[in-house]
């Protein structure tokens, strides 16, 4: 397969066989509504994406998000705006086709719900969401309104939509709060996040059943093409960092979730919550430098709680390796990177960020194929994992099976 190139700066192309379509979706004229980005497969082969580059969407939809990133990370705004490898001479784009028709080649498409991390947004992990959709999933990337997002917004009336005058919800920093207090706040927020995930599933199920739902941001987009096309029996909850904790919480409280994928999960706030009964298969994809003892203890609790559990650690990675940001502005803003510089040769020792994202989506597709039965063909993903396994991936795969009232744990 030969990928056509374009002069536009963009995050990596999706790893699946099909190009994706994309639409932003907002319900209700209040902060109680839902806001998410929908990625879905189209009939366009991924190698032909260049032909549709005029319909790609900007990675950064509004400058207010940039201000939110700066405030949340306590970094001066001018560094984000003018630092190396960020804005450059051209904006960055997501290689997905705005408002493209949904592919009708499959009978139905499993649902993949993605929750962003602390001080992140619906577009922070666009490569990951875009790649999963390109393998035949419908992906809903939330933008939470619990004040954990770097910034988000809603429209309070049809007039504000017409005039494009949103009401912004700013990020609430918690740097000065005590650790236990932060965990209490996070538990309050995760309950709001759970409510949003459940509402989005309700919305998507209504669309599947042909019930009219209004998208106040794009009322002309044809939602009828999704009627009868969603596999409502196969819902996957996933998330990055705080979103990882959100996805496992959703799996415990919403029985529509059939599998959980946690990308470098921030699990520590769960220590204030009794151990939840999680029967669904869980995949953990971890970075090398993010995790500390209390976080690892919590991960181990859920790894050993019964059911199918798989855990991978990607070598020479940091927390932001799992997002688009390392591809866009490299690792220069990452505080963990300074520990990993080889001061003799003055070379970075980080894994190539595009490779991290490709391994991440490949591990996800392999896991869903083995435990979900979809996609049916993951040969390409399996080969990519095998090609990088020894050098870049640490396996710690746990399969729990009951035999004569005993638990057998197999390490691969």
Q: Assign residue 264 a region: left if phi > 0, alpha if psi is -120 to 50, beta otherwise?
A: left
Distance between alpha carbon 394 and the CA centroid of its chain, in Å? 21
Helix (H) or strand (E) holding 368: helix 353-372
| Cis peptide preceding 375, ω within 30 of 0 | yes
Is there a catalytic annotation at residue 264? yes
Torsion of CA 41, 357, 279, 138, to 10 degrees: -10
Residue 281, SS3? Answer: coil
Cα distances (angstroms) measured from residue 105 to each of 22, 136, 224, 229, 230: 18, 10, 16, 10, 13
Q: Which of 390, 336, 397 is nearest to 359 (CA)?
A: 390
Q: What is the largest CA-CA distance in the chain?
A: 66
Could you tell me whether strands 308-314 and 393-403 are parallel, antiparallel, or unpaired per DSSP bridges?
antiparallel
Contact between 128 and 122 (Cβ < 8 Å): no
Residues with Cβ within 8 Å of 406's Cβ and at least 6 positions away in sequence, in order, are none
Q: Which of 38, 41, 14 is nearest to 217 (CA)?
A: 38
Catalytic residue among 15, 134, 148, 241: 241
Task: Kindly report the three-state secondary structure assignment for every residue of 156-225.
Answer: CCHHHHHHCCCEEEECCCCCCCCHHHHHHHHHHHHHHHHHHHHHHHHHHHHHHCCCCCCCCCCCCCCHHH
Is there a catalytic annotation at residue 319? yes
Catalytic residue among 146, 264, 324, 334: 264
User: Which residues are registered as beta bridge partners of 286?
Assistant: 313
Is there a catalytic annotation at residue 400? no
Residues marked as catalytic: 241, 264, 319
């Amino acid at each position: 397969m030969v990928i056509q190139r374009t002069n536009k700066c963009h995050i990596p192309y999706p790893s699946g066989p099909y190009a994706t379509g994309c639409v932003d979706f907002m319900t209700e004229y209040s902060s109680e509504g839902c806001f998410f980005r929908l990625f879905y497969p189209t009939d366009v082969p991924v190698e032909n994406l260049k032909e549709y580059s005029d319909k790609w969407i900007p990675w950064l939809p509004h400058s207010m998000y940039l201000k939110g990133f700066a405030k949340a990370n306590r970094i001066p705004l001018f560094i984000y705006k003018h630092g190396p490898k960020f804005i450059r001479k051209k904006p960055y784009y997501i290689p997905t086709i705005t408002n493209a028709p949904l592919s009708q080649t499959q009978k139905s498409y499993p649902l993949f719900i993605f929750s962003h991390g602390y001080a992140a947004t619906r577009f922070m992990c666009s490569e990951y969401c875009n790649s999963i959709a390109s393998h035949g999933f419908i992906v809903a990337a939330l933008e939470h309104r619990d004040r954990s997002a770097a910034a988000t917004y809603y429209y309070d009336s049809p007039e504000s939509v017409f005039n494009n005058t949103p009401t912004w919800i700013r990020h609430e920093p918690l740097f000065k709060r005590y650790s236990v207090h932060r965990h209490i706040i996070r538990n309050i927020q995760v309950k709001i996040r759970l409510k949003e995930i459940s509402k989005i599933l309700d919305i998507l199920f209504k669309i599947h059943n042909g019930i009219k739902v209004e998208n106040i941001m794009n009322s002309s987009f044809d939602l009828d093409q999704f009627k009868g096309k969603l596999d409502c029996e196969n819902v996957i909850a996933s998330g990055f960092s705080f979103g990882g904790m959100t996805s496992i919480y959703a799996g415990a409280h919403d029985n529509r979730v059939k599998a959980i994928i946690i990308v470098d999960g921030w699990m520590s706030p769960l220590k204030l919550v009794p151990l939840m009964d999680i029967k669904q298969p869980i995949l953990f994809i971890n970075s090398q430098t993010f995790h500390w003892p209390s976080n690892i203890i919590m991960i181990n609790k859920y790894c050993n709680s019964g059911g199918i559990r798989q855990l991978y650690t990607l070598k020479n990675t940091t927390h932001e390796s799992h997002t688009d940001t390392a591809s866009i502005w490299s690792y220069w803003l990452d505080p963990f990177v300074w520990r990993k510089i080889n001061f003799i040769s003055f070379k970075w020792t980080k894994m190539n960020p595009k490779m991290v994202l490709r391994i991440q989506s490949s591990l996800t597709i392999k896991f869903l194929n083995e435990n979900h039965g979809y996609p049916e063909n993951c040969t390409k993903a399996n080969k990519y994992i095998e090609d990088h396994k020894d050098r870049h991936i640490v396996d710690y795969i746990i399969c729990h099976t009951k035999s004569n009232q005993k638990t057998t744990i197999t390490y691969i």
